[in-house]
Amino acid sequence: MSILRQFSRLSICPTVKFQLNRNISTTSALTFKITEQLWAEPMKKKKKIDPAIVKAREERRRKKIEKQIRRLEKNARQLKPIDELEVPLHLMDSLKKYKRPPVQLSVEEIEARELLQKEWARYKRDEYMNNIAQVDRIMAAQKRALDRLYEESEDLYNEAIMPDLQLLPYTISGPVATPPIKDYESPDGEYIDVSKKWDN
């Protein structure tokens, strides 16, 4: 019945005849009604706050925010451990433009390269064997010299085989690619090594 009444609102012609409900009662009727909001307050008077205190509050707020900024920045200044480093996003996005077109090598070229690798392996092996042979030769020469010294006099031999304690630590700087220029003034200036040392 109620559904029908709700739908009747949509129709143009009335489906149901309205009945006037005039409640007439002889005794006092108990009609429930909710009153309007009674427990509100009128607006309080705005007290004038001391401008100094206002300023102090603002200062404190600003300082708090600045401290947080500084803390974040300190975090950014500290170097990340290498394990945590990532490729910067702008590089990852533009990876395409950095790629080269793939190289097409002919079969002969590939074969020539492989043969070169094998030749190099052979060359390096020869070099290595030569190095070992030289080291052996020099060591044998020293051994022979010591044997002869032993034949000659035992005392000298014993003194010769004592370790030289002043030798280590020994440093030699190796050969360079181009000859050193005399009295060369480095345009970048001299560098002073400030790396931390942890010696005992």
**Residues lying near other proteins in the complex (CB under 8 A):** 97-100, 103, 113, 116, 119-120, 123, 130, 134, 137-138, 140-142, 144-146, 148-149, 152-153, 156, 159-164, 167, 170, 172, 175-182
| Comparison of 98 and 198: residue with beta carbon closer to other proteins | 98
Q: 3-state class of 75 per DSSP?
A: helix
| Comparison of 72 and 140: residue with beta carbon closer to other proteins | 140
* DSSP E strand boundaries for 23-166: none
At CA 150, angle to CA 146 and CA 155, rounded to 5? 115
| Comparison of 68 and 153: residue with beta carbon closer to other proteins | 153
Handedness of CA 24, 26, 31, 37 (dihedral sign): positive
Q: How far, rounded to the nearest angstrom, does the alpha carbon of residue 195 sit from its chain's CA centroid? A: 22
| Comparison of 58 and 159: residue with beta carbon closer to other proteins | 159
Q: Are 112 and 119 in contact (CB under 8 A)?
A: no
